[in-house]
Amino acid sequence: MRIEFKMEGGLAHFPGLARPVCIDSEQLSQEELVELENLVEKVRFFELPSRSAPPTKGAADYYTYTVTVKAGGRRHTVRLTDPMEDANLQRLITVLRTRAKALHSP
């Protein structure tokens, strides 16, 4: 499995944090890989619409995430904005954000 993750927006634009990252299953521990695979399955990632519902009118400073998952010969990209209602989707993004931040750190 391979995941591409990009985070934009928020209260400020930080060029360092907005850099896209690539998370390859080979870089992950067995435990991390199992959690990510489970979350991808639980949120039915490959069936998600390519864009989540647009933010409420007037909303501002929300994060937008672009996530591409390649696994088992399939590939799908979704664009999501905070806040998200699905707890598993929230967890997936939290895991990816944490991983991305670690990759951004020198």
Element (H, E) at 75: strand 74-81
C-beta separation of 41 from 80 below 8 A: no
Q: Does 15 bind other proteins (CB under 8 A)?
A: yes
Residues in the chain: 106
Chain-centre distance for alpha carbon 26? 18
Q: Hey, which residues between 44 and 73 contact other proteins (CB under 8 A)? A: 55-64
CB nearer other proteins, residue 25 or residue 68: 68
Q: Does 90 bind other proteins (CB under 8 A)?
A: yes
Binding residues for other proteins, per CB under 8 A?
8-19, 55-64, 82-84, 87, 90, 94, 98, 101, 104-106
